[in-house]
Amino acid sequence: MTTKQVRECEHCGADISNRHHRARFCFDCAEIKNNGGPLRKKLTCSHCANTISPHSTTGLCGYHRKKVNLNSLSVMAAAHKIVALAVKSKILPELDGTIPCHDCGRPAHEYDHRDYKKPLDVSPVCRACNKHRGRAKNHPMDEITRKYTGKPIKA
C-alpha cells in the first residue's frame, strides 16, 4: 500500500497533494502568479507571529483560531477577548495606573464598552466610573430579559 506524499504550496504552505505532481503552488497562488500579479507576502499570526496562509480570514494560526474561537463566545465575551488581545499586541495601552480615567481623572483600571458590537471602541475608566456608567448596549442580559419578560429594555 502506498501512502500519498503530503506536498505544500511553495508560497503559502497550503496542502497541494491533490494537484499534479509537478505543481508547486496552490490554485490561488498559481492564479496570482500566472496573471502577472505579485504573490502576496507571507502573513503572520497576529497573536504569535507564526506564518499563516494568505487565505486565512481570521489572521490567526490554526492553534490560536481554535483557542480564540470568537464565534462560540457571546458578544460581550468576544469584545472582552478582543480588548485583551489588543492590549497584549500593544494596540491599546496597558492600564497600569498611568492612564487617567476618561470621566474623573483618577487612574483607570478597566476598559469600558458602550456598545459590545464595537469591541475596540472603549474608554479607560476607573472601577467606580465604570459602575456608574451602567450597562452597555447589546449586553447579553438584554436579550434574555426581552425574551422572557416581553418588555423592552430601558436605555
Statement: residue 107 has pLDDT above 90: yes
Full-model pTM: 0.47
- Mean pLDDT on 21-43: 69
Statement: residue 28 has pLDDT above 60: yes
Confidence of residue 125 (pLDDT cuts 50, 70, 90): very high
In this predicted structure, which of 14-23, 51-60, 98-107 has the lowest mean pLDDT? Answer: 51-60
- Mean pLDDT on 74-99: 85
C-alpha cell belonging to residue 20: 499534479
Amino acid at 144: I
H or E segment and range at residue 111: strand 110-113
H or E segment and range at residue 129: helix 127-133
Nearest residue to 55 (alpha-carbon basis) of 6, 85, 11, 7: 11
Statement: residue 38 has pLDDT above 80: no
